[in-house]
Every structure is written in structure tokens, then in C-alpha cells.
């Protein structure tokens, strides 16, 4: 059994303001996205100057925050927020959903593309390529906060997390960091390096994340207010299934379109 390092979630205080590691991870993810989208956009024939890039990131930040929070409200704790609607926007109390944030970013990106007349799929390719780093940093933030831990286990690397009882658990946050962050980033980077067809990185992101998240959910503790749902599945698995299906259908569509162009 490994010893969980006792992190202080707060880096330092500025008067009444607490600067937290989790917030720093979000900031790091968006800063990397700014750099990586700018770099990848040139390979996809997109003219993204600094002003347009700033606008895109502004749209994305709103999409992540609003979508992530509303997704948590709807998918994970609707009865509570129905009774306490004043808590819906109390994001400082915790509670964000990746799948809700994803929907928010998709909507925000579509609005951005429509406003500036950018092609949707090439833009989706470059945004998808930057997303895994932010996702990976977010999982490190979860680990530092000692939240979203795994199920109990007897593997040698199990950890006893604060507030999670006395039994060792899977450090599922680190599994997600490696799969949804590091590995998915490398896959999408390689697809860009190989100059794959437009849409392949975008749809591969959905397929890759959906599969990785579905697998990790087998060792991740489900949310206490939900527990196990249909057939013993978790909410994370149920929300990942449409991503897997969308990614597969999208890749098949790209392949079919390529075959039609060759005829």
C-alpha cells in the first residue's frame, strides 16, 4: 500500500482570496490550449490570429464553466438542486461534470465558428488536440484535493484517501491522468503528425475519451448520491457510451466520404 501525500489544496492566501491548486490546473490547461491550438491551426489551414484565438478561448472558458456546472446539476444531483436552486451557481462548493463541460465547449465552439465563418471540423480537430492536457491537469487537481477516489482494492499501489475510510483505494485520478491526459494527447498528436483526414482527430477524441473513461469507471467509486445505475453501470459510463458511439460513427463517416471522393 502506498501512502497518500498530504497536500494542502490551497497554495497561498491573498487576504480573503484562496489560490488553490485546482484553479491553477484549470489555468494551466487553458494556457496550454492557447499555445497548442495556435500551433495546430496552421497545419489545418486555419487563420487564427491573436484576437481570434483570444475570442475562442473566452468562448471555451464560458463553455467549460457553465456547461460543467449545469451538467453536474442535471446529471449528478438534480433532486438536491431542485430543492436548493440558489446553490446551482455555487461553483466554489465543488461539483463539475466533464460531459456537461464538453457539451458547453461544443456549443461555444459552434457559436464561434458561425460568428467568424470557420469550418467546423478543422476547428474541432485543433480544439480536440489541445483538450487532453487540460483534462489531465484537472485529474491531478482531483488527486491533490483527495476527491473522486477509486473503489477499495488490495493492489500494492492502493492508497488510503482522507475522508474515504480506512481501506486502500485505487488512485483512479492518476489512472485518468495517464489515459485521458497523457495517452489521449499522444494519440491525437500523432494523428496530426500523420496529417490524417479532416475530422479524424475530432472523432478520435470522442472515441478515445469515451473508452478510457468507461474503463476507469470500473475502479472508480461512483458518486454517493447516485451509486450504481442500470445493470451496475455508473453515470460516468452511461454518459460515455454516446461519446463512443458518436466517435465510431464519425470515423466511419470520414472513411466513407474519403471512399466516395476516390470513386
Residue-wise pLDDT tens digits, 154-174: 999 999 998 888 899 999 999
Residue 254 lies in a domain: yes
pLDDT, position 18: 78
* 68/177 same-domain check: no
pLDDT, position 92: 67
* 157/171 same-domain check: yes
* 23/153 same-domain check: yes
Q: Is the pLDDT of residue 1 over 80?
A: no
Per-residue model confidence as pLDDT tens digits over 26-74: 899 999 999 999 989 887 888 888 899 999 999 999 999 999 999 889 8
Q: Which residue range(s) make up the domain with 205?
A: 10-46+120-262
Per-residue model confidence as pLDDT tens digits over 118-142: 999 999 999 999 999 999 999 999 9
At residue 13 the predicted structure's pLDDT band, cuts being 50, 70 and 90, is confident
pLDDT, position 185: 97
183-197 core/surface letters (b: 16 or more CB in 10 A; e: else): ebbebbeebbeeeeb
At residue 93 the predicted structure's pLDDT band, cuts being 50, 70 and 90, is low
Per-residue model confidence as pLDDT tens digits over 187-199: 999 999 999 999 9
Q: At 108, which helix (H) or strand (E)?
A: helix 98-116
pTM of this structure:
0.91
Q: At 14, which helix (H) or strand (E)?
A: strand 10-14
Residues 6+ positions from 8 with CB-CB distance below 8 Å: none
Residue 41 lies in a domain: yes
Q: What domain count does the chain have?
A: 2
Q: Dmax over Cα atoms in the chain, in whole Å?
A: 67
pLDDT, position 95: 77
Q: Percentage of the chain with pLDDT > 70? A: 98
Residue 77 lies in a domain: no
Amino acid at each position: 500500500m502506498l501512502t497518500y501525500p498530504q497536500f494542502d489544496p490551497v497554495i497561498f492566501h491573498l487576504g480573503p482570496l484562496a489560490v488553490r491548486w485546482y484553479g491553477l490546473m484549470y489555468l494551466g490547461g487553458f494556457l496550454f490550449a492557447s499555445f497548442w491550438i495556435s500551433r495546430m491551426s496552421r497545419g489545418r489551414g486555419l487563420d487564427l490570429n491573436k484576437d481570434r484565438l483570444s475570442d475562442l478561448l473566452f468562448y471555451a472558458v464560458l463553455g467549460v464553466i457553465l456547461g460543467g456546472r449545469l451538467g453536474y446539476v442535471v446529471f449528478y444531483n438534480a433532486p438536491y438542486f431542485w430543492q436548493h436552486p440558489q446553490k446551482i451557481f455555487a461553483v466554489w462548493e465543488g461539483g463539475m461534470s466533464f460531459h456537461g463541460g464538453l457539451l458547453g465547449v461544443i456549443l461555444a465552439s459552434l457559436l464561434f465558428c458561425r460568428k467568424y465563418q470557420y469550418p467546423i471540423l478543422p476547428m474541432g480537430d485543433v480544439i480536440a488536440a489541445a483538450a487532453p492536457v487540460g483534462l489531465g491537469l484537472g485529474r491531478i487537481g482531483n488527486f491533490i484535493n483527495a476527491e473522486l477516489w477509486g473503489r477499495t482494492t488490495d493492489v500494492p499501489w492502493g492508497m488510503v484517501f482522507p475522508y474515504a475510510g480506512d481501506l486502500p483505494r485505487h488512485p483512479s485520478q492518476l489512472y485518468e491522468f495517464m489515459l485521458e491526459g497523457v495517452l489521449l494527447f499522444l494519440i491525437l498528436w500523432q494523428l496530426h503528425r500523420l496529417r490524417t483526414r479532416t475530422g479524424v482527430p475530432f472523432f478520435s477524441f470522442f472515441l478515445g475519451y469515451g473508452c478510457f473513461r468507461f474503463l476507469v469507471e470500473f475502479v472508480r467509486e461512483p458518486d454517493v448520491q447516485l451509486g450504481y445505475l442500470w445493470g451496475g453501470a455508473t453515470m460516468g459510463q452511461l454518459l460515455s457510451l454516446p461519446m463512443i458511439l458518436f466517435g465510431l460513427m464519425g470515423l466511419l463517416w470520414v472513411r466513407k466520404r474519403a471512399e466516395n471522393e476516390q470513386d
